[in-house]
Amino acid sequence: VDESGESHRFLRAEGCEVIIGELTRGIGMTREALIGIGSGADVLMGATIRGGLLDRDFFEKFPDLRVVSKYTIGIEDVDLEVATDLGVIITHCPTEANWGGVAEGTLGFILALLKRLRERDAHVKKGGWRSPDLRGIYLGRRGDGYTGITVGIVGLGRVGSRVADLLAPWRVRILACDPYVDRATFVRHDSVGVDLPTLLRESDVVTLHCSLNMQTRGLIGKEELALMKPGAVLVNTARGAILDLDALCDALEENRLIGAALDVLPEEPPEKGARVCSLGDKVILSPHMISANGAGTLAAAIPWATEATLMALKGNVPNHVCNVDAVPKWKKRFGGKALI
């Protein structure tokens, strides 16, 4: 949400009528609320919708809709196939402030888990001091023969490749699994391309950075977690539905894995008393804001989304289109037809 209101004022100055929905902080706007305020809109602009999918039933309530212009990167709340079929363009904002922030937060998670920072903090605050039970794990290779740890990165896109780059000075071994990138990408980020089972078996840290789609939904389940090394840790800063949360809780309760860090959950926010919230120091939880680093994160995305909105209203195909197959039908419907 543009809390400064600058983009709203700019759009109004360009001749747009701007309707601003009521945001439930921490949850976002729901599908039903958006339908309630946006009926008849030519453009929908904002962040990810919680608690509902922008599906055919939704789009049919917006017969004049040209574009859904998102501040965020993720588009899992939109049925792209339906939007494409209807000639509605979906744009997003893959700003470096966003995906780079996710990568930095991921590294923080990894270090917190391996160096046992939460446990050490709690121990000292309770009156304790040094204890062999609080020993961490040294990450990098050493000259005395210690080979260091292996980090497995699932998804070597923007976030995953930045994580690999951030890990480079730590001299760890990096495995990566991504069927959609070429061999040169693995080499460029000093990683070894492997299949998922190999990555799970050999990694001390597994970190998830793939998009959520039909192929990745439930990608890491009971069988996959069973392949992981005893004593390994898992980090998920991608999407909650990629990981079977109950299976992860089982692995942690049975001490097959020693820790996990999650910025995303299948249900957000989790219900009070949720199992994952009862695992103590075995799990570090973050409220799906690992990339939130002050005004700089969103500030970079707002101009992109505003530009996409104006271009569409002027009858031009906007930048950063997710469903490029929608463009031909969009041009037939709206091309050259300016509203402002």
**Catalytic center residues:** 239, 268, 288
Give the residue from 147, 188, 146, 189 showing the smallest Cα distance to 167. 189
- Secondary structure class of 54 (helix, strand, coil): strand
Give the residue from 105, 58, 65, 117 showing the smallest Cα distance to 292. 105
| C-alpha distance from residue 308 to each of 74, 103, 130, 188 (Å) | 16, 26, 56, 32
Give the residue from 30, 12, 10, 14 showing the smallest Cα distance to 22. 30
| C-alpha distance from residue 147 to each of 138, 139, 154, 259 (Å) | 10, 9, 22, 22
Strand order in the sheet with 67-70: 43-46, 67-70, 89-91
**Secondary structure in 3-state letters for 94-161:** CCHHHHHHHHHHHHHHHHHHHCCHHHHHHHHHCCCCCCHHHCCCCCCCCCCCCCCCEEEEECCCHHHH
Q: 33, 330 in Cβ contact below 8 A? A: no
